[in-house]
Chains A and B, each alone.
Chain A
Amino acid sequence: DAGITQSPRHKVTETGTPVTLRCHQTENHRYMYWYRQDPGHGLRLIHYSYGVKDTDKGEVSDGYSVSRSKTEDFLLTLESATSSQTSVYFCAIKTGGPQETQYFGPGTRLLVL
């Protein structure tokens, strides 16, 4: 499972409230990613990080911010949650070496009422 944990695993919140999701990895990987998964859309990249304090936007970044103050933690914040942000959120890390690819965490199910 590449040592990736996500918290919380499930969350119900109300429109307009801020929400922070946490991704934690234990293997010191440099690259980390946040995706959302919705029916009919597959996985879409929200934000990614290529090092401590180095982050950039993905395909669907509006309404989201991220922070990475330590190698092991990558936080995703919904600044003011909306119903359209109801989704399953996955964190991923990228390994190095000859086969560079991404491994995913177990996901966080978020419901915004």
Chain B
Amino acid sequence: QKEVEQDPGPLSVPEGAIVSLNCTYSNSAFQYFMWYRQYSRKGPELLMYTYSSGNKEDGRFTAQVDKSSKYISLFIRDSQPSDSATYLCAMSPAGGTSYGKLTFGQGTILTVHP
């Protein structure tokens, strides 16, 4: 079983829909949680960053972390065609011995159609 599980989709929604993307994980040492967005044939770009549990909002994007359930989510409100991309969750433990190494989910392919 992978340390981080992410439904690969693909997920197709109409413009304006609310999108929910999710990851589950098994390593209770994970403390830092990130979402990356990756457009086709590009490198991943950091979208959201959260430390420990709680919510974080940035414009149309909201990241949630529920450490008790080992579950993280990314919500996209009023989705736009420009949001069409692959979304990757990533996480890492705290502490210097981790060397900042990230463990990634396999990515969810999202298409927002006009």
Contact-residue bracket for chain B? 20 to 34
Grouping DSSP codes into helix (H, G, I), strand (E, B) and loop, the A interface class, with mixed when no group exceeds half, is strand
- Assess the B102–A106 pair: CB atoms within 8 A: no
Grouping DSSP codes into helix (H, G, I), strand (E, B) and loop, the B interface class, with mixed when no group exceeds half, is loop
What's the A-B contact tally at a CB cutoff of 8 Å? 52
Contact-residue bracket for chain A? 20 to 34
Q: Does A74 contact B (CB under 8 A)?
A: no
- Assess the A50–B99 pair: CB atoms within 8 A: yes
- Assess the B106–A101 pair: CB atoms within 8 A: no
Distance in Å from the Cβ of B107 to the closest Cβ of chain A?
Answer: 5
Interface residues of B (CB under 8 A from A): 6, 8, 32, 34, 36, 41-46, 49, 88, 90, 99-102, 104-107
A-B contact pairs, 13 of them (CB 8 A): A40-B8, A41-B106, A42-B105, A42-B106, A43-B102, A43-B104, A44-B104, A56-B99, A101-B32, A101-B49, A102-B102, A104-B44, A106-B42
